[in-house]
Amino acid sequence: DIHGFVESENHELIIGGMFPFHFRTILTNESSWEEPKSPKCEGFNFRSLRWARAMMHAIREINNRTDILPNITLGYQIFDSCFTISKAVEGTLTFLTGQNETMPNFRCSAGAPLAAVIGAGGSALSIATARILGLYYFPQVGYFSSCSVLSDKFQFPSFLRTIPSDVYQSKAMAQLVIYFGWTWVGTIAADDDYGKYGIKLFKEEVEKVGICIAFSETLPRIYNKDAIQKIVEVVRKSTANVIVVFSTDIDLSALMEEMANTNITGKTWIASEAWITSALIAKPSYSHLLRGTIGFAVRKGNIPNFEQFLHETHPENTEDDLLYEFWENAFNCTYHADRKALYTDRVNDTITRESHISSRHCTENEKLRDINNTYTDVSELRITYSVYKAVYTIAHALHDLDTCVAGDGPFPSKSCAYILDFEPWQLMYYLRHVKFQTFSNESVHLDESGDVDAYYDILNWQNSSDSIFFVKIGKYTGTASGYDMKITNSSILWNTENFLSPHSVCSESCLPGTRKGIRQGEPVCCFDCIQCAEGEITNGTDERECVACLSDYWSNAARNECVLKEVEFLAYEEALGITLIALSVFGALIVIAITVVYVMHRKTALVQANDRELSFLIQFSLVITLLTSILFVGKPVEWSCMARQTTLALGFSLCLSCLLGKTIVLMLSARAAKSKTPGKGGTLMRPLYQKLVGLIGISIEVGVVTAYLLLYPPWVYKNMESQNVKIILECNEGSIEFLCSMFGFDVFLAILSFITAFVARKLPDNFNEAKFITFGMLVFFIVWISFVPAYLSTRGKFKVAVEIFAILASSFGLLGCIFVPKCYIILLKPERNTEEIVGGRAATNDK
């Protein structure tokens, strides 16, 4: 019950062929009380008729050639596989058993022996038939069964093919996706071995380089509107703009039909070889959807005189059922009554005639030249060329077998096989070693697994107003050892608004300064970009982690660079620094001015009263303390750290011990005044002793300072803890104990002088010196007491500034309280600067 073409009379050898002349079988309601019949087929496929005609043409050509098989005429027997496994298996069994016999009766079909079988069509069919043919090691040459598993010679020992394995195509697609930088692609696969294995290999390839699959859908094998609509929805909702489709055109057509009804645009389709040049899909009405499609097509070849051969086709010439059906479909007519009677009779069993065939009668005048259809279109001879090569492969192998010289043959004891009676494995031997050149100058040979080297044209669909045409934009060659892909970007038409290559990523890449943050439960290509924390950076795009800056560095605002931390200290150039220095210099100048005044009036009573030298020493020490504040400003270095606190302490101790020298005298005079023994105070304390107090005070302090500097000197410290962004350059005080005892001694002197001055404050004469000193000491205490909390609560350079303020304030306080009132008298009230007022004691003091 198998439909096909036969030409086997008067032929010595037959080549079997199987082509999917119809798209599908019809589902029949099996009734169990009838004898089951082979299912019927429907949907005439013009394209496969062309493929079958290529086989016939090749055989005819070989028969006419004198250089290949000169003494042998080949015949053919071609069956319709209806794109269905069961039909293909049925055909295979028929080949093996001879017509209508159920017992396998090797190669007795149609009179002449069967040499080899071409095809079975799609991979699923070839896999099924190759398993049966493999049992007998019967040669089978596939022309478009490209599925990768067919390379497995363990499972399919006698299967060879003239189309490259999909291993290469899947790799090529992956390379294409990588080439254009898409990382987010959807996949659609046909529900057969071709689609599933193709997409599986593609996924494996792309996942290696971190590309993610947005969705993977499978086309229903039998038309199912819901399933198709579901796929359309998925495509519409997905953010992936690139969709890889591994399917035959027949399986894909239903989806494209549905898709064209929606307004989905802007998707770029990556086509597998099975639909890239299919007229079924490349319809002008789909062009808004599919233009810009890129895909791979197998090698295109030239078949001499083929077009002419196609045009010779006429049902009257061969009286073949299939050609009648073709004719009716092509010209939309029905055959005249007697013909039709005969034809429908035969056809009724196997083919349901499609309802669209009109009642118009076919005349004798229809000419194939007048119409333009897939059958006569020879612009893209790719699969057709593969069929042609398959026939030639077999013919060349047979020829090699025929020309074997006895005694030099490949078989045991150097024997040969006999062309009219050989075993299938003997032909297999020759097939595996075949090597020949086609008319298109392609040299064909099969490798160990029966495959040919991969070569693909990369095609791009472009459209004019009423048609889609295929533009070659590159090529891909692949062998077991590597691949080579060339693409001319400029000739590609993209289906995007701006005609630029589409963008297909799940998340835009993360810029420097951010890192990828995974989204729980989503593919790795979908992520959030998270800004690096302070002090951490990333300097490339798409980094996974931020790296911390080195200790002296800190991140910039954009977090893409580590910058040297700003070093903070109170600089000379700053306004604050300048002001403080100006104040201290100003203070020092005042002190010097006072000294000058004192020197000029050194003979007056006021200056001479209560030890002139001590006054000069105090002035000198005030200049020192005022000027030490300069040491606090500027970048701290080793020596300035060592110098600043110590000079300050020394300055104060000099100042305070001299003051103490003075106040002790004042206190003693006050006592004497109380005890009504005037004049006694002067004698109580000689000026020498007064200076001795100052000397003792200063020398104790010098001792402490020296020990401090020798044992635990202060050092420059980069403080990075208190602030991240900045390094605070400060002086570490070394030993706090020493620091405390150093200033503690100053405080001790201060307290002593305060107490002594306080006791003597009521002394009426001596220009109220004791009162002013008391006052000055109070100011001194207030300043330094309030200094402590202020100092502890500031950081950075302001800490230093606070200390300078305290120094200046206390020095100015002492200056203001001790010397200014005296200068006032010396300069403005000279009448009071007399000994009478100063008192006799003052005079006696110095004389």
Of the CA atoms within 13 Å of residue 95, those in its CB half-sphere come to 33
| 456 to 72, 146, 170, 491: CA distances (angstroms) | 35, 13, 12, 17
Least Å distance between CB 201 and ligand TCR?
13
Cβ proximity to ligand TCR: between 144 and 780 the closer is: 144
Query: Closest distance between ligand TCR and the C-beta of residue 485, in Å?
Result: 20
Give me the residues paired with residue 217 across strands.
188
HSE, CB side, 13 Å, CA atoms: give it for residue 447. 12
**Backbone torsion region of residue 387, taken as left when φ is above 0, otherwise alpha when ψ lies between -120 and 50, otherwise beta:** alpha
Kindly list the residues in this chain that would bind ligand TCR in the complex (CB under 6 A).
122-123, 144-147, 194, 248-249, 273-274, 383
Q: What is the DSSP letter of 342?
A: H
Whole-angstrom Cα distance, residue 758 to residue 755? 5
Min dist. Cβ of residue 42 to ligand TCR (A): 17
Q: How far is the CB of 490 from ligand TCR (least distance, A)?
A: 29
> Could you identify the residue written with the tokens 């025929």?
402
CB 295, min distance to ligand TCR, A? 11
User: What does the block give as tokens for 497?
Assistant: 């608004």
Taking the complex as a whole, the smallest distance from the CB of residue 189 to ligand TCR amounts, in Å, to 11
Smaller CB separation from ligand TCR, 387 or 609: 387
- Residue number with CB closer to ligand TCR (245 or 546): 245
- Report yes or no: 80 and 87 within 8 Å, Cβ to Cβ: yes
Nearest distance in Å: CB 488, ligand TCR: 24
The pair of structure tokens assigned to 169 is 């195509």
Give the DSSP letter string of 94-107: HHHH-TT-SS--TT
Name the nearest CA neighbour of 291 among 272, 265, 309. Answer: 265
Question: Residue 61 or 451: which CB sits closer to ligand TCR?
Answer: 451
Residue among 146, 150, 215 nearest 186 (CA) = 215
Nearer to ligand TCR, 145 or 555 (CB): 145
Of 48 and 183, CB closest to ligand TCR = 48
The residue whose two tokens read 């050892």 is 481
Q: Which residues contact 209 (CB under 8 A, 6 or more apart)?
A: 174, 178
Q: Cβ of residue 76: shortest distance to ligand TCR, in angstroms?
A: 21
Beta strand segments in 283-433, E: 294-298
From residue 645, give the alpha-carbon distance in Å to each of 24, 715, 753, 799, 806: 101, 12, 22, 14, 13
Measured from the CB atom, the residue of 249 and 730 that comes closer to ligand TCR is: 249
Amino acid at 12: E
The conformation of residue 546, written as its DSSP 8-state character, comes to -
| Residue nearer to ligand TCR on the CB measure, 387 or 729 | 387
- Rounded to the nearest whole angstrom, what is the least distance from the CB of residue 350 to ligand TCR in the complex? 22
CB of 276 to ligand TCR, least distance (A): 8
**Per-residue tokens: 591:** 């002190």
Choice between 189 and 624, CB closer to ligand TCR = 189
Which lies closer to ligand TCR via its Cβ, residue 42 or residue 613? Answer: 42
Q: How far is the CB of 192 from ligand TCR (least distance, A)?
A: 6
Could you identify the residue written with the tokens 């494996």? 204
Nearest CB to ligand TCR, comparing residues 84 and 145: 145
787-793 long-range contacts, CB within 8 A, separation 24+: none
